[in-house]
Structure 1
């Protein structure tokens, strides 16, 4: 059955997820079986890190239970997740590469972007640390030391948010990732694959902290360069955003349900789940959607100044 758009708009205007459920409840069908949203499916494309860490299941199950819907989550690299959405095969996208998100919005495929959460990137490697980068507070120095020592480095090579960040870091260090030596290994895989390969080869890799911590008990890898969560450089910050697919471009997308999901995941309940989600006592992600002084820049591409209207 179709979702009742006016009920969603009214509920979103209230600014409360509980209000959303109440308004939907008022639009029950004539058989008294509950709100017409029940039975709908939301297709979410997202990063491998949200799935590998287990966070995705923790977030989606309460949403599905509350509204009687199904979230079909497809975990891909950020680039692939955004391409799926561009093709009209996704309703909402949760990713972590702001430059790629901005392109998605500027090309009119995405609307109503929200900051969601953050963690950070870390450079991990074997305890032997052949490039002697442990404890470095300078990412450029660490990457140059890896390159100069020709220590094996595993790159995801999959146009994911992590891969996009890694390429930017090599550029900042004055090196082109496309012209590095044989010690630089491009696997074209997910974060879990990269960590496992680095563990097998005694290599370095760039990882988001959440996935590293969730796999820490299964590898011998150690953090050699910390991100800002533990006092490291801000260049290793890893923010996540969530964006609805534009129904004016793909009129078949489940836009109402996408906005309900965005409201839930950026609201008090979703943000509390993110805050309280831990593995072995370690917090993997930090909520960022709720603030007494919301950041306007989250809604538009970075650097946007209004332009010519």
Structure 2
């Protein structure tokens, strides 16, 4: 065997070993929302990403505000949240170098089937919130600075209402526990559709209002600033970010269904 061929073979074998080690040992930490986790989406798409790249994704599922803080400290390699305004500010502040639309669904206003506040008859989300406050009817809020909580606060603001008093319960908990509390109290609540579809303990709760444009729920992936945090796994995190907006990633998101319903709709730019 010629010396050149030996060198070429050695390099090829080294590359294969390196690739295998990369595939077997690499993982990233993703800070994301409870809605993407509790809806079951990650259990569906992460195995497909791992199969395609050899990279595992370990999810820290918290509210969007807390996910921002985790990424700001450099304690996550990647970020996937749903507060477009906050995400754009995160980039402007230099904590991330890029933000991309990934997928969307919507928020819904949920309440007891007998609907004492008459939310079913409201023409808009603002009117629904006004009816709840005017009744007043029990309302459970996540109260955790999550993307859903931020969206709920915007709904109150658009309705011209500062919620408070004994009827308004801020729980400081994730979407699932908040829905459980609403079910136990026969209370109104704002939720993302994905978690609602996956939620089993509905008792007397139903979707009472949906379809208003202000209930649109956009999710974005952020490529973090690796210069600020050089210890982060740049290559693996970038592959995750790019896979989400690739044809393969978008198809994986679109294919996730639960109870015959598509929970997220891809819309990468």
With normalisation by structure 1, the TM-score equals 0.80
Question: What stretches of structure 1 of length at least 5 have no aligned partner?
Answer: 1-26, 227-231, 295-309
Structure 1: how far apart are the matches of 2:170 and 2:252? Answer: 34
CA RMSD of aligned residues (A): 1.6
Deviations 1:134-190 (CA, angstroms, capped at 9, x unpaired)? 15331111101100101000000000000001001101100123xx22100000000
- Bigger Rg over Cα: 2
Match of 1:85 in 2: 71
Match of 1:152 in 2: 138
Structure 1: how far apart are the matches of 2:184 and 2:201? Answer: 14
The yes-or-no answer on 1:106 pairing with 2:85 is no
Deviations 1:201-220 (CA, angstroms, capped at 9, x unpaired)? 00000000111111156443
- Counterparts in 2 of 1:28 and 1:130: CA distance versus 1, 3 Å: farther
- Contact 1:139–1:225 (CA under 8 A) maintained in structure 2: yes
Which of 175, 179, 183 aligns to 2:161? It is 175
Structure 2: how far apart are the matches of 1:216 and 1:140? Answer: 28
Question: What stretches of structure 2 of length at least 5 have no aligned partner?
Answer: 1-10
Q: CA deviation at 1:29?
A: 5.9
- Contact 2:120–2:209 (CA under 8 A) maintained in structure 1: yes
Which of 184, 195, 200 aligns to 2:184? It is 200
Structure 1: how far apart are the matches of 2:260 and 2:47? Answer: 22
With normalisation by structure 2, the TM-score equals 0.91
Match of 1:7 in 2: none
- Contact 1:37–1:67 (CA under 8 A) maintained in structure 2: no
Match of 1:45 in 2: 31
Structure 1: how far apart are the matches of 2:265 and 2:122? Answer: 24
Deviations 1:223-258 (CA, angstroms, capped at 9, x unpaired)? 0011xxxxx211000000000110111111112211
- What is the aligned residue count? 257
- Contact 1:92–1:244 (CA under 8 A) maintained in structure 2: yes
- Counterparts in 2 of 1:146 and 1:235: CA distance versus 1, 3 Å: same
Deviations 1:104-129 (CA, angstroms, capped at 9, x unpaired)? 11110012211000000000011111
The residue correspondences of 1:208-219 to structure 2 (distance < 5 A) are 208-216=192-200, 218-219=202-203
- Contact 1:126–1:220 (CA under 8 A) maintained in structure 2: yes
**Mean alpha-carbon deviation: is it higher for 64-73 or for 233-242?**
64-73
The yes-or-no answer on 1:235 pairing with 2:214 is yes
Match of 2:226 in 1: 247
